């Protein structure tokens, strides 16, 4: 099973665009981990077309809040339809099991001992300041953390979070994560 674990950063905020819909935002940077080649590809919005072949070879897209945020936003740029490829959204899986949402930082710290290096609003500021390399490092770090959490969950069937000073487990149904599905993905590549 070939997973593409990814994260996106934006040029603007919901407040800036006067909307709560991710498709109204603009991508600044995207970072993608390909499980088959074990490589990270981090690109600016102007280089997004270079990752379409990676996406089209993936059996599943993996992210954190990706079904609600990243996939619809990336789909705005993609010449096909990303909504037809298998998606594993760790936040959605946590919410289904726990009944509420948790920040990636909270889950990553308790599960794999990793912390995020910043936050999305900081990445927006960096975009306006022209600090593209900072955004790329931050975005790729988020993908590395998401990968660690995903790998842990896939192996153990749960993740952890801190509830006060105690760590608690959240059981996740990972039984379908490794099952390859037929994709109705509309490819952008010429064959």
Q: Let me know if residue 57 belongs to a domain.
A: yes
For the chain, give the number of residues: 191
CATH number at residue 82: 3.30.420.10
Tens of pLDDT along the chain (191 residues)? 999 999 999 999 999 999 999 999 999 999 999 999 999 999 999 999 999 999 999 999 999 999 999 999 999 999 999 988 999 999 999 999 999 999 998 899 999 987 765 666 889 999 999 999 999 999 999 999 999 999 999 999 999 998 878 889 999 999 999 888 875 554 554 43
User: What per-residue confidence (pLDDT) applies to 30?
Assistant: 98
- Please state the domain count of the chain: 1
Q: Let me know if residue 188 belongs to a domain.
A: no
User: What per-residue confidence (pLDDT) applies to 84?
Assistant: 84
Q: Let me know if residue 26 belongs to a domain.
A: yes
Q: Let me know if residue 106 belongs to a domain.
A: yes
User: What per-residue confidence (pLDDT) applies to 136?
Assistant: 96
Domain that holds residue 91: 3-171
Q: Let me know if residue 62 belongs to a domain.
A: yes
pTM for this structure? Answer: 0.91
**What is the radius of gyration, based on Cα positions, of the chain?**
16
Q: Let me know if residue 191 belongs to a domain.
A: no
User: What per-residue confidence (pLDDT) applies to 119?
Assistant: 65
* Helix runs in the chain, H state only: 14-17, 52-57, 71-77, 90-98, 104-112, 120-129, 132-156
Q: Let me know if residue 180 belongs to a domain.
A: no
Q: Is 85 exposed, middle or buried (0-12, 13-18, 19+ CB in 10 A)?
A: buried
Q: Let me know if residue 95 belongs to a domain.
A: yes
User: What per-residue confidence (pLDDT) applies to 148?
Assistant: 97
């Amino acid at each position: 099973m070939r997973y593409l674990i990814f994260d996106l950063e934006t040029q603007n905020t919901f407040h800036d665009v006067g909307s709560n819909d991710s498709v109204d935002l603009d991508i600044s940077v995207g970072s993608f981990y390909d499980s088959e080649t074990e490589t990270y590809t981090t690109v600016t919005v102007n280089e997004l077309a270079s990752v379409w072949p990676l996406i089209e070879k993936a059996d599943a897209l993996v992210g954190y809040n990706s079904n609600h945020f990243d996939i619809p936003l990336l789909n705005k740029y993609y010449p096909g339809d990303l909504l037809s490829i298998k998606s594993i959204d760790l936040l959605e899986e946590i919410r289904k099991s726990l009944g509420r949402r948790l920040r990636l930082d909270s889950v990553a710290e308790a599960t794999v001992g990793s912390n995020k290096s910043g936050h999305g609003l900081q990445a927006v500021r960096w975009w306006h300041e022209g600090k593209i390399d900072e955004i790329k490092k931050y975005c790729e770090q988020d993908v590395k953390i998401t990968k660690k959490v995903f790998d842990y969950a896939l192996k153990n069937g749960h993740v952890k979070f801190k509830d006060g000073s105690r760590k608690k487990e959240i059981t996740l149904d990972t039984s379908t994560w490794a099952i390859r599905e037929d994709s109705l993905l509309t490819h952008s590549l010429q064959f």
